[in-house]
Chain A
Amino acid sequence: MDDTPQHQSNSEQPLTLHTLSSIRSLLINPSTPKPTLSSILQTLTRSSQLTHHTLNLLTDLATHHPSFSQLALDSLLTATESHTRLAIDSLASISQLSFSKPFELDGGRFVSLCFGPSIPGRIWMLKNAGYLFKVRPALLFTVLLGFTKDPYPYVRAASLEGLVGLSEHGDFNDVSMLCSMARDMSMKVRIEAFNSLAKMEIVSKEFLLQSLSKRVFRNEKLRETMDQSTSEQFVMLATSVAGALVHGLEDEFFEVRKSACQSLHTLTILSVEFAREALDLLMDMLNDDSAVVRLQALETMHHMAINGCLKLQEKHLHMFLGALVDNCREVRCAERKILKIVKLNDLAMFKSSIDRLMENLDSYLQDEADVFSAFSHLGRNHKKFVGYIVKETFEEVEAAFEENLEFKSARVAALLIICISAPLFNEYLGVIPPVLFSYAVTLLDRIYYAFSDIMDKDALLAYLCEKSRPPSYSAPNINHGEGEQQLPLIEGDTPNCASNGVIDSKVGSQITKEQKELASYQVEQHQSEYNEVTKFVNYILAKFPDMWQMIETSLTNEVLRSLRCLKEELSTLKFDSLGSHDALAFALLYLRIIMLLVEVWEHLFPAKGSCSHGTGELEFKLAKLDRRIKELMSTFVGFSAEEELNMLELILVTYALRLCKLETICVNLTFKRLTSIYSCVESILKERSVLPSNFVVELGKLLHECCTISINGASCSPLQFDRCLKLFSLKKFVFHGTVKHLKAELSISNNDSLHPFPFVSGLPALEM
């Protein structure tokens, strides 16, 4: 520690580097005694000793020895009054001290520091003063503005940076100034100018449009409203704004061009007219030799499309669609991203888009999946245009399939995608020939990715199967092969999924990728679980018609046994997604109905059936069956007409059984109900022009006879009903997504086991 006295003796001499380094080691040693530290402080603060190094040492002292921090800070503050570069260095040191509260720099000092002779110091001040020290914004603004005219490009850039900082706090908004900087000779200044321009939030339309034209507009109308000097000033400002963006886009340096493209991002939102004119320029940027600039131009267009200000015109198409065959993968991808959401105005544009996408497909096989996806979106967004081209497309696809042209398959697949996408999210137009959907099924593996944003492969298959049936001809009598189940997919089916698709296509990049992935993962989870359940339910439902045949051959007990097994299996399943729950509830209820029906049916075969069952039991079961069917019809919604018909038929069966087996006193009432249900069935049949089942036909004849003979049908013989019932066969019931279970939980306050409410107004009496 013999260094310390030495300092004092040598105090008039500048400290050597060796001494300085030994002082430093003393300073960063936490156990250096206080007297030593204070003598070091004394040595360091002697004004003749102040150098860059001593400032650093003072900072060290302040950071390592909190007890000295205030003293060190004070001496640093004294140093800021120096007239050299040292003042700025000491300011920089102060700003590094984390403990110090925001340092107030008074205006006079700030100006004198900025105006000091040291250029690096000046740049440091301009860059940092606004953030690190509290300087009056008005003063800062004035100084920064002044330095935009400095001869040194770095000073100009730094002052511009400072101004942008101010503009972020809303203190600065001078577009004409920025535009005049956009013509600076220094590349860095130009980049900075466009970066700042992008942050402007209020720019008048006149200035925006002026920035796109090198010619100065002489707006006579505007000038009339101004006096002489204002109008001169306006022309002066317009001159500095004129063509600023054009120059930026034409710049030699791609960094500047990119920055100019980027500034259009926000500026195009400000004015529709400006957006339209800027698009003309932006299109030409797709011809840029730098892929970075092309990508930025596309990115900007995408942004415009999201904001609804991308108005594509015929003259843009060559350039715009040219990007589809660009040799840069990212550019092609960005272009398709726009195509997926853009709204094309006329058929010609739609057709050219298809043609160029086909070229894309030809030239870059690796793009196939995404091109198909673009086709799918194009079809979804332009159903009207698809309608126009469907005829020729159909012929081409038809020909390709007949001749089995392998080489055309990518093209054919693309054409199919665009056609089959059109009815998605749209009303079924009826213009797409169903056979196209069945062709698409053969290419399922290749094309399903195009729809992956809204449905998976199985759902697509179901959709295709549904649509491939002629619209006038419907399900009941078509016997589907094993495994090829009919699962019509309708929008409401998978709410998460479908709406996700819509959001995706409209908002696009606004959802960040991660979120999207997460969401689609969850959707997929539910989707797959739901698919599992639906499959299982339909598997069970498909068994019933077969079982019915067994009943007719009097194997009732076996049937009942297997039904009970199924029931047990069903009731053990539990799923959390809403759709799955509905499917299970439906299946269980339907199963119960079938069980009851089977049990009741036994009574039709008195010869074989045991006579132990009394009439009372039959009546009870019939009533239960009636109630269950009604429950099915009222607590589930979303049945198709055919399905409703099936259920009505079951009710008819119940009534017919009643009339046939129970010669009760209320024949008339039952008969009346039967007739009214039958007329319901009849009207549905008429409406849908569906062929009625044999049972319904016979029943109809019988009812007709009864009605002509007598008013109340009392004369009808039970045997006649028996004959009708023999014709009845159970139809296959397919569960699909539209069927929803309605249930409500009613919570009534003050209703507990001790004080039960016997009656709730507005609700039917509770069945216990």
Chain B
Amino acid sequence: MAIETLVLGAGQEVGKSCVIVNINGKRIMFDCGMHMGYTDHRRFPDFSLISPSANFNDALSCIIITHFHLDHVGALVYFTEVCGYRGPVYMTYPTKALSPLMLEDYRKVMVDRRGEEELFTSEHIAECMKKVIAVDLKQTVQVDEDLQIRAYYAGHVIGAAMFYVKVGDAEMVYTGDYNMTPDRHLGAAQIDRLRLDLLITESTYATTIRDSKYAREREFLKAVHKCVSGGGKVLIPTFALGRAQELCILLDDYWERMNLKVPIYFSAGLTIQANMYYKMLIGWTSQKIKDTYSTHNAFDFKNVHKFDRSMIDAPGPCVLFATPGMISGGFSLEVFKHWAPSENNLVTLPGYCVAGTVGHKLTSGKPTKIDTDPDTQIDVRCQIHQLAFSPHTDSKGIMDLVKFLSPKHVMLVHGEKPKMASLKERIHSELGIPCYTPANNETVSIPSTHYVNAEASDTFIRNCLNPNFTFKKCNSVETCGSTLIDRNLTPELQVEDERVADGILVMENNKKAKVVHRDELLLMLDEKKHEV
């Protein structure tokens, strides 16, 4: 038997994550995202490949959504309400709470701003969410008789989860997006040691190794502090969820510590609403926030106030969080127009801005003038600070996770093709695990080990439970002890705990296959002799 994987999206690219896995007869869809780069049919995964007859309810056992980002959840409403899938949809509580916000916001942008054809309505979103079953972390959910799923903490954004799936003996994990280093407001991904046949992991940063985030935080705080102590205003254009809370916790904490009295503002709207959700979803945040929650809710920002449009030109220093993140329009652009001409002010931009936005113009080169539209030209004299906070794991994190889980096969999705190829090579050569990087609409069949449902004798099970590690003696003895380095790199012993017990598969006629311990075999053979 094999595990068949059909990649509908995020194969050798980033966007519209969607993977269909056929595991021991169960078909599961992991994520149902949309591609933000396209406006034509390419924005959604090609659902027709799942079932040519469009009979999705029979074709799929369930859908699992890892987190609320649109490239992971964006096509869900379309799939359930327009394409007609009525089966179960699983996601974590925060994802269920925040996904409608995201979808609604996207719908508005599509319809109201760009004047595009409506793909789904607000009612559709509400209807879709009714089909969602929320799960908790480490809660094992029995989808049907054979199919078990379990969510593990993934970091990345609030509510993001990696999903473990077990059908019979076949086990696999789909990571979604995850982060192996903790943030201020989110913890690091955490998972048990599992015995997996397949691990499907994201590979956004397949070749990047990131240094400590502390240096970036330090530079950011230093720039902001310098600006406000010089009486300047700081504009932080940011997306409402995630980055805004992360930076705000960072600033609020610094303000508290340094006893700063300069006000921090949040522009009204989505951000305030999002903060409210964060306050409720406190259990999904980092350890520190969870620990201190009883005395002080970290999202109850002490120094943060609501911003009013009339305060744009008010004198005195301040820090303002405003949407959207890349100054592509809206309130952040409005404020930018007012604040950019003063050299006292500071604009903090994310590490990556989409081409065409003001943010992109500011980060590429040092423009002194920016045309926002044919009639308006803004004098830019303010300082620009670029701050890259990425909630994705780097290549070391991916390797660490793969090493920790040691699955039989690894599949990379959600990354760029050349970088994925390089990571694939590393996983293969360093860890000795076969690795795949399928493109969109490709199917990969994992030649999983042949599984036979077999009974196991008690002795054999006991033997399995017992540790069974072997030691490999170091063979380069002659180099030992000559220098310090040599001694360090050749430890006397290397340990491997395969925990694969020696057993013998006995298949008797008319009986279920049984695995027995080798000591038992003799016994069984003896008995047979007597019978004959």
Interface residues of A (CB under 8 A from B): 114-117, 142, 145-151, 174-177, 183, 185, 202-204, 206-207, 214-215, 222, 226-227, 229-230, 233-234, 237, 239, 242-243, 246-247, 249-254, 281, 283-285, 287, 289-290, 318-319, 322, 325-328, 363
How far, in angstroms, from A146 to B258 measured CA to CA in the complex? 48
How far, in angstroms, from A117 to B463 measured CA to CA in the complex? 9
Partner of A287, one of B192, B217, B286, B400: B217
Given known A-B contacts A202-B484, A243-B396, A185 and B404 have beta carbons under 8 A apart: yes
**Residues of chain A within 8 A of B211, CB atoms compared:** 214, 246
B162 to chain A, nearest CB (A): 12
In the complex the two chains form, is A319's CB within 8 Å of B218's CB?
A: yes
Partner of B212, one of A148, A207, A249: A249
In the complex the two chains form, is B476's CB within 8 Å of A185's CB?
A: no
A-B contact pairs, 19 of them (CB 8 A): A115-B466, A142-B493, A151-B192, A174-B491, A185-B192, A185-B193, A214-B394, A214-B396, A233-B489, A281-B214, A284-B217, A284-B218, A287-B217, A290-B288, A319-B218, A326-B257, A327-B258, A327-B259, A363-B259
Partner of A250, one of B190, B213, B485: B213
In the complex the two chains form, is A326's CB within 8 Å of B258's CB?
A: yes
Partner of B222, one of A243, A285, A318: A318
B286 to chain A, nearest CB (A): 6
In the complex the two chains form, is B188's CB within 8 Å of A214's CB?
A: no
How far, in angstroms, from A560 to B262 measured CA to CA in the complex? 77
B385 to chain A, nearest CB (A): 14
In the complex the two chains form, is A287's CB within 8 Å of B430's CB?
A: no
B160 to chain A, nearest CB (A): 15
Partner of B259, one of A239, A252, A325: A325
What are the interface flags for B397-428 relative to A under an 8 Å C-beta threshold, 1 for contact and 0 otherwise? 00010001000000000000000000000000
**Residues of chain A within 8 A of B61, CB atoms compared:** none
Nearest 3 CB-CB pairings of A with B: A284-B214, A252-B182, A149-B497
**Residues of chain B within 8 A of A230, CB atoms compared:** 476, 479, 486, 489-490
What are the interface flags for B449-486 relative to A under an 8 Å C-beta threshold, 1 for contact and 0 otherwise? 00000000000001001110101000110010000111
Interface size class of B (residues with CB under 8 A): 35 or more
Given known A-B contacts A147-B467, A204-B485, A289 and B218 have beta carbons under 8 A apart: no
B284 to chain A, nearest CB (A): 13
**Residues of chain B within 8 A of A250, CB atoms compared:** 181-182, 212-214
Partner of B488, one of A183, A237, A285: A237
**Residues of chain B within 8 A of A175, CB atoms compared:** 488
Known pairs A206-B485, A226-B479, A326-B258; list 19 more (Cβ under 8 Å).
A117-B465, A145-B493, A145-B495, A147-B467, A150-B497, A151-B193, A174-B491, A176-B489, A185-B190, A185-B192, A185-B404, A214-B209, A222-B485, A229-B475, A230-B489, A285-B214, A289-B184, A289-B288, A327-B258
In the complex, which of the residues B400, B475, B476, B490 has the most CB atoms of chain A within 10 Å of its own CB atom? B400
CB contacts under 8 Å to A, within B167-220, are 181-182, 184, 187-188, 190-193, 209-215, 217-218
In the complex, which of the residues B257, B286, B287, B491 has the most CB atoms of chain A within 10 Å of its own CB atom? B257
In the complex the two chains form, is B191's CB within 8 Å of A185's CB?
A: yes
How far, in angstroms, from A188 to B187 measured CA to CA in the complex? 16
**Residues of chain A within 8 A of B394, CB atoms compared:** 214
**Residues of chain A within 8 A of B489, CB atoms compared:** 176, 230, 233-234, 237
How far, in angstroms, from A374 to B285 measured CA to CA in the complex? 40
How far, in angstroms, from A116 to B465 measured CA to CA in the complex? 9
For A114, give the chain B residue with the smallest CB separation: B467
In the complex the two chains form, is B209's CB within 8 Å of A204's CB?
A: no
Partner of B182, one of A147, A246, A251: A251
How far, in angstroms, from A287 to B499 measured CA to CA in the complex? 43
CB contacts under 8 Å to A, within B488-515, are 488-491, 493, 495-497, 499
How far, in angstroms, from A247 to B400 measured CA to CA in the complex? 12
In the complex the two chains form, is A253's CB within 8 Å of B287's CB?
A: yes
**Residues of chain A within 8 A of B469, CB atoms compared:** 146, 149
Whether B353 is near chain A, meaning CB under 8 Å from some CB there, is no
Whether B256 is near chain A, meaning CB under 8 Å from some CB there, is yes
Whether B254 is near chain A, meaning CB under 8 Å from some CB there, is yes
In the complex the two chains form, is A252's CB within 8 Å of B288's CB?
A: yes
A193 to chain B, nearest CB (A): 14
A329 to chain B, nearest CB (A): 12
A140 to chain B, nearest CB (A): 13
How far, in angstroms, from A230 to B478 measured CA to CA in the complex? 11
For A233, give the chain B residue with the smallest CB separation: B489
**Residues of chain B within 8 A of A243, CB atoms compared:** 396
**Residues of chain A within 8 A of B274, CB atoms compared:** none
How far, in angstroms, from A382 to B190 measured CA to CA in the complex? 50
In the complex the two chains form, is B495's CB within 8 Å of A289's CB?
A: no
How far, in angstroms, from A14 to B454 measured CA to CA in the complex? 38
CB contacts under 8 Å to A, within B243-260, are 253-254, 256-259
CB contacts under 8 Å to A, within B105-135, are none
For A284, give the chain B residue with the smallest CB separation: B214
**Residues of chain B within 8 A of A252, CB atoms compared:** 182, 187-188, 286-288
**Residues of chain B within 8 A of A204, CB atoms compared:** 484-485, 488
In the complex the two chains form, is A183's CB within 8 Å of B400's CB?
A: yes
**Residues of chain B within 8 A of A116, CB atoms compared:** 466
Whether B221 is near chain A, meaning CB under 8 Å from some CB there, is yes
**Residues of chain A within 8 A of B258, CB atoms compared:** 322, 325-327
Given known A-B contacts A207-B488, A222-B485, A284-B218, A254 and B212 have beta carbons under 8 A apart: no
For B485, give the chain A residue with the smallest CB separation: A204
A224 to chain B, nearest CB (A): 13
What are the interface flags for B251-285 relative to A under an 8 Å C-beta threshold, 1 for contact and 0 otherwise? 00110111100000000000000000000000000
In the complex the two chains form, is A327's CB within 8 Å of B495's CB?
A: no
